[in-house]
Structure 1
Amino acid sequence: MDRSVFKNQKSSSRQAMSRKATVIALSCRLLLGTSVLCGSALCATLPALSQSIAEADEYLIQNRFKEAEDAYRALLQSDDTGDSYAGLAVSLAKQGIPSKVVEAERVLRSAREKFPDNPNVIAAGGYVSYIHSQKVASMAKRDIFLEAAENLCKRAIKANPDILIAQQTLGLVKVAQDDLDSAVDPLRKAVGLAENPINLTLLAQVLLKQDPKDKEAEQIITKVLHDKPDYPLARLQKAIILNNQNKPEDAFMELHNIPADKQKDLPEWNTIKGDICKKQGDGPGALAAYREAIRLDPHMPDPYRHMAEYYAQRGDGEMAIAQMHDALEILPNDMQMRNDLAELALRQDKLDVAETEYKTILASQPNDANALLGLTRVYNRKSRKDGQIPPEFNKIMEQLREIINERSVTTEKTVAGQVLKGGAKDFKEKKTLSEAESAYSQHHFKEARQLISSVIVDHKDEPYELMSLGEQAFNDGDYQSAEKAYSFAKEIPEVAPRAEQGMSRIVTQRNEASRQTKLGDATWKLPAVAIDHYKQALIADPQYPDAYYGLYSMFTKGENPDPEKAHENALNFLEAADESHPLRQEVESGMMKLKKHDGKGKKKK
């Protein structure tokens, strides 16, 4: 806007003007980039016009939007570049009044007709479209405005990467689209263009959404609060950091240090309050805060997601899934939330729900690797329950292999030697869980246990992840891994009672498996009855080694020996049993005899 910051203007008077660093406010300020229009006639009138624009910009910096609007209006007739039009549009949009936002659209239409190639006008259009997206009730219209904002910002950035408002708005659009990975890069560039509290805090906010314990975000917020201790958005991020350091009381104080009149400008305030209440064990308080956040802004996905996590943590999987379904009624195009719902349903063993959601994602995004991985996990688990592989399984696996090969090359190039974050980390985790499901299906219990245990260890301080992973391992019949997850969870006060319940369920299942195995041992003279008891034991605990030993013994020493079934159950026993199991040596020796017997049979043939 203020041509005093144009890179291609070298005169000393303009360099002096550049120190004023013309900006357009976003929360506090947003900087428009350089205009490429600078003819000789324009340059003659530049100093006075620049001074006038600088004054208008100063109103905008001070959040005096009405005065900025009036100042920009006064400059329209003498504006030969479109910069005043861009400033007027943003000052109108910043006032937040629907009629003003609509007028901003009209101003930009006029500017685009007169100055179609001015990147400042294009960038301002992106910002106004973003603001408009936050004001509409229709989700379809919201998505249209967000897409328009994204396209305009990318056009402006292509013309001039140094337009701060374009970089910032693109980052905010990606946050609104729940695409956090794509938000980081433009927000980092915004910090590079202007390292101020606004830009730094926006970047930290996204990093904390990706990882609530992100060290870089913590360092950024510490710096911001040192320079600007009264900045509300930074205080909000500080509350998130403290809460995730298990300091909910300090987080509560930090949250309420934000003045009441500023809280209404922070849509996440109630969501963070809910998280703090949840950490303090105040369930009703957490639910009330999440509901208030949804009432104030029903388009924000986090309150729905956090409420669903709360229900899942307390063991109410049905309510958690219902909450996510309600959210998707309002946010049907939020594919990240749909993926979260599918993952939750899968961990709760609601396979039909998970399958439906993964297929919905793939209908609009056929190469979504996380959805493909999720679908393979659903099919693996269904095959174990139903005894047959779904017909489309092989096609999904082939498609997945191609995508994984492509992504593995990219991952090696882009994240080698770095800590995986965001989408890359999520993809790696989903891939590990998919491999674990495949290993379960092949009765490779040790491999599966090792895979899922690695994921559990990665989340050992995260209550929701621990409880849901424990639930998943329990539903997969891997009680050792479930026990590991619940053991970690027992150390976290907010989920300790639920973890104890999980451990109790494991003990109950193991006791039932032991009882059925003893009944099988006692009914050897009735082979069909004994086999049924051993199978009942494996329903109670699918990895109970003594039940596999009973079946192995029945098919080797019983009245109707069956070497093939004996061999299968011997392998399952060796996979399920610890290295120190007293019957292990006997089964290993028996396996050798079975192999010799099998070899003789083939020779005779």
Structure 2
Amino acid sequence: MRKEVCDGADSSQFWYTTMTTPVRLLVLVLTAVFLHGNQDATPKAMRDPLTMGQVLVWMDGGAESLRVEQLVERQGVDFVPTAELLDSLKVLNAKPSLLEKLKRAKVAHSGVGSAKEQAAYAELFMCLRKANSGADAEAERECLAAETDEPSTAGFALGLLAKRRGKSSEALRFFSAAVEAAPTIPDNHNYLASASQKLGQLDRAEAEYREAIRLDPAYETPVSNLADLYLAKNDPILAERYARQAITLMKEDAYAHNELGMALCKQQKFDECLAELREAERLEPDNAFRHAQLGTILWNTGKCSDAVPEFQQATKLEPSNSYTHLRLLTLLLQLRRKEDAQTECAAVQAVLHTTKSCAEIAAIVRKDTEKAPKLCEQP
């Protein structure tokens, strides 16, 4: 088997801790607001009822939401989950299963935030709603308005906005400010680590991931991210170890299964690799990258016909992704599936808004089609 069999399947393409969903943006920037009076992270704190901020911190449409469900069920909450609050969470795409657990949660005690906290919440909520609508400049103004009273929270918001714009250095600066303002919130360290890793500062990233884990040993996201970091360091053995540890903490963590799959692939354990990538895909069937990732590994291991439906599903889920369309076209050309290639060529023309003929497009990708002809030869 070729040594470069895993090349082209870049597991770092999805920066796990900076998902682009508006929910992730909202829930993480509110951490400092609601945890303002609970800054000392201790083992006892992990047994205390969840604050509203803790619920919001991890509430998104993926594995993090599942963690919140478990914690809510186990520890209860210290706020009243009113109908109005639940409706707000619905707007933020909270999973129905989380809403149900909040309805049934044991309320240990409830407190009312200060006027400053409430004002900061309103400003940040507007910031995030505007960011969701694409009005980044207005969103930034709202976040800056909250910066004086809630520097950690505003730092989170501004950092995520900077990341969304592709300004990695700015994101690093804002996340650093968030850590300085609230050093005992594990998410601050996790996001600072991710920003550091994005800029290639791997040693700093590792230190921050480990600090996040120290503050909250049950928080699987930085553990998954350590697996990704060790893949970046070309250490698949350690990557496998941390991916398995993350899965132990949260077996529904699709990202951890993906990282485990890539670590196994790097070790030439292809059957196990494919099994983990299929599990990641099962957990996130609507994630185009999961299908493209699996398709790439199938392709590179010679299972070319099996790779075709994976790329086709990826293009259905993300029809504007020209790279995936070109990969699919290249694969179809390798397989000499002329009719399917002609259909896919038309899709490529539409996505790229090009007037080039299919013959011209095929010539452009010809080099790719000749990279591994034996792998995809038709019997």
TM-score bracket, shorter-length normalisation = 0.5 to 0.7
- State yes or no: 1:357 paired with 2:347: yes
Select which of 129, 153, 157 maps to 2:140. 157
| AA partner of residue 120 (structure 1) | Y
Summarize the Cα distance change of 1:322–1:94 in structure 2 as closer, same or farther, 3 Å threshold. closer
Distance 2:288 2:170 in 1: 22
Matches within 5 A, 1:158-307: 158-161=141-144, 162=147, 168=156, 182=166, 184=168, 187-188=171-172, 190-195=174-179, 197-202=186-191, 204-205=193-194, 215-226=200-211, 228-229=213-214, 230=217, 231-258=219-246, 260-264=248-252, 266-307=253-294
Summarize the Cα distance change of 1:98–1:472 in structure 2 as closer, same or farther, 3 Å threshold. same
- Displacement of 1:174 in angstroms is 10
- Displacement of 1:191 in angstroms is 0.3
Structure with a larger share of its residues in helix: 1
2:124 paired residue number: 123
CA deviations on 1:23-66 (whole Å, 9 max, x unpaired) are x9946962459xxxxxxxxxxxxxxxx98xxxxx9834555865
Classify the secondary structure of the residue corresponding to 1:319: helix
TM-score normalised to structure 2 length: 0.56
Select which of 319, 322, 327 maps to 1:344. 327
Distance 1:381 1:30 in 2: 49
Summarize the Cα distance change of 1:472–1:216 in structure 2 as closer, same or farther, 3 Å threshold. farther
Summarize the Cα distance change of 1:474–1:262 in structure 2 as closer, same or farther, 3 Å threshold. closer
- State yes or no: 1:325 paired with 2:308: no
| AA partner of residue 367 (structure 2) | A
Classify the secondary structure of the residue corresponding to 2:201: helix
Highest Rg: 1 or 2?
1
Highest relative contact order (Cα 8 Å, sep 6+), 1 or 2?
2
| AA partner of residue 278 (structure 1) | C
Aligned residues: 290
| AA partner of residue 201 (structure 1) | N
Structure 2 portions without partners, runs of 5+:
1-24, 38-48, 56-70, 104-118, 334-340
- Displacement of 1:194 in angstroms is 0.6
1:8 paired residue number: none
Matches within 5 A, 1:33-44: none
Summarize the Cα distance change of 1:150–1:218 in structure 2 as closer, same or farther, 3 Å threshold. farther
Classify the secondary structure of the residue corresponding to 1:269: helix
Matches within 5 A, 1:404-423: none
Distance 1:246 1:60 in 2: 39
Distance 2:136 2:269 in 1: 43
Distance 1:153 1:87 in 2: 26
| AA partner of residue 77 (structure 2) | E
Question: 1:224·1:234 contact (CA, 8 Å) conserved in 2?
Answer: yes
Distance 2:121 2:308 in 1: 45
- State yes or no: 1:59 paired with 2:48: no
1:100 paired residue number: 99
Question: 2:296·2:307 contact (CA, 8 Å) conserved in 1?
Answer: yes
Question: 1:126·1:150 contact (CA, 8 Å) conserved in 2?
Answer: no
- Displacement of 1:186 in angstroms is 7.5
1:600 paired residue number: none
- State yes or no: 1:69 paired with 2:68: no
Classify the secondary structure of the residue corresponding to 2:51: helix
| AA partner of residue 356 (structure 1) | A
Question: 1:28·1:198 contact (CA, 8 Å) conserved in 2?
Answer: no
Distance 1:293 1:240 in 2: 15
Classify the secondary structure of the residue corresponding to 1:258: helix
Distance 1:91 1:327 in 2: 27
Distance 2:123 2:29 in 1: 20
Question: 1:239·1:252 contact (CA, 8 Å) conserved in 2?
Answer: yes
- Displacement of 1:248 in angstroms is 2.0
Matches within 5 A, 1:497-508: none
Classify the secondary structure of the residue corresponding to 1:281: coil
Select which of 466, 473, 492 maps to 2:367. 473
Classify the secondary structure of the residue corresponding to 1:237: helix
Distance 2:289 2:156 in 1: 21
- Displacement of 1:193 in angstroms is 3.9
Distance 1:317 1:152 in 2: 43
Distance 1:207 1:472 in 2: 38
- Displacement of 1:298 in angstroms is 1.7
2:114 paired residue number: none
- Displacement of 1:226 in angstroms is 4.5
- Displacement of 1:198 in angstroms is 1.7
2:115 paired residue number: none
- Displacement of 1:327 in angstroms is 2.5
CA RMSD, aligned part only? 5.2
